[in-house]
Structure 1
Amino acid sequence: AQARAEGRKNLTFQKADATTHRFAPASADLIFSRFGVMFFDDPVAAFSNMRGALTPEGRLCNVVWRPVRENPWVLKSLMVAA
């Protein structure tokens, strides 16, 4: 994704501690976390910090794991492999 976005001025990638990173206030239209939020030591502080970085219409999107029983795609894959 980072390579495909090369040269785009309106897109940045950051790897940072969501709890302590000093985001510029109201600077992001979108914050996307892939398999990160379940590892936050202090989720309330992290989400509060990220919220401060979002514009008023900004969005916070997260991809997280769910238990196998709640994920039919993974469950079927495991059943086929068994």
Structure 2
Amino acid sequence: MALRLTCYTLPRLELWLIDTPHRRCPQCGGDGWWTNGFDDETGEHPDAEYVNCGCWNPDRRSCLLVVPSWAARYWPGWTPPDTETY
């Protein structure tokens, strides 16, 4: 398990701790997944099945901090979300 901090900005500013693939995993090479299938002439995997590696669980994450809207103004690089409805 390799953990990393990530910042999500919409709909509110949140800090999350998420799991990432192990960089030196011998099975997936650090990608976190591999494909079961064959390449076509373009090098793509049209009917491939994507398999998650055991070194990574994409569902393993948790919210550490929800930043209040008044404090989010002072966060570097944060801009308020667009409030228009489409």
TM range (shorter): under 0.3
TM-score, normalised on structure 2? Answer: 0.18
Length-normalised TM-score, structure 1: 0.19
From the two aligned structures, give the one with the greater strand fraction.
Answer: 2
More helix by share: 1
| Higher CA-based Rg | 2
